[in-house]
């Protein structure tokens, strides 16, 4: 599983680097409940889009300034990202205007999360995603 995470970050981040987000005073809880809330929202409201050559037709949602993709937990048996074959245990955030382009948040167990080392950047996206989901579900 670590190999897949490393591959996504290295393979997909070969683009020009841009200025980063202002995240200096942010402290936002990245947890399993919020992961599942975001995943459910993407599966119900998103579309399918391929973002790299590891998978096809990833569940996808375009938020205001970035995209979020879901990767299947069963890498070998679900390259077409079919929800009936396996669950999704990784979110990949793509932002063409960010320093690294791709960031990852992955469920380690049902109670813990492994995320990209750039925690402040991940918190920025996490907060933005949850705010947008909450606004849309209130309407």
* Between residues 51 and 10, the one the model is more confident about: 51
Domain ranges of the chain: 2-138
pLDDT tens-digit series, residues 80-97: 999 999 999 999 999 999
| Residue pair 19/99 in contact by the 8 Å Cβ criterion | yes
d(CA 133, CA 110): 22
Give the model's pLDDT for residue 135: 82
For the chain, the average pLDDT equals 79
d(CA 95, CA 26): 19
Locate tokens 């750039």: which residue?
A: 118
């Amino acid at each position: 599983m670590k190999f897949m995470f490393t591959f996504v970050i290295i393979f997909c981040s070969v683009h020009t680097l841009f200025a980063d987000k202002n995240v200096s005073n942010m402290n936002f809880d990245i947890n399993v409940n919020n992961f599942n809330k975001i995943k459910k929202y993407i599966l119900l409201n998103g579309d399918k889009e391929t973002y790299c050559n590891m998978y096809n037709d990833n569940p996808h949602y375009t938020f205001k300034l970035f995209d979020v993709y879901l990767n299947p937990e069963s890498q070998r048996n679900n390259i077409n990202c079919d929800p009936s074959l396996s669950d999704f245990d990784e979110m990949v955030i793509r932002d063409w205007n960010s320093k690294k382009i791709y960031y990852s948040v992955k469920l380690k167990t049902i109670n813990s999360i492994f995320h990209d080392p750039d925690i402040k950047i991940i918190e920025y996206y996490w907060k933005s995603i949850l705010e947008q989901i909450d606004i849309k579900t209130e309407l």
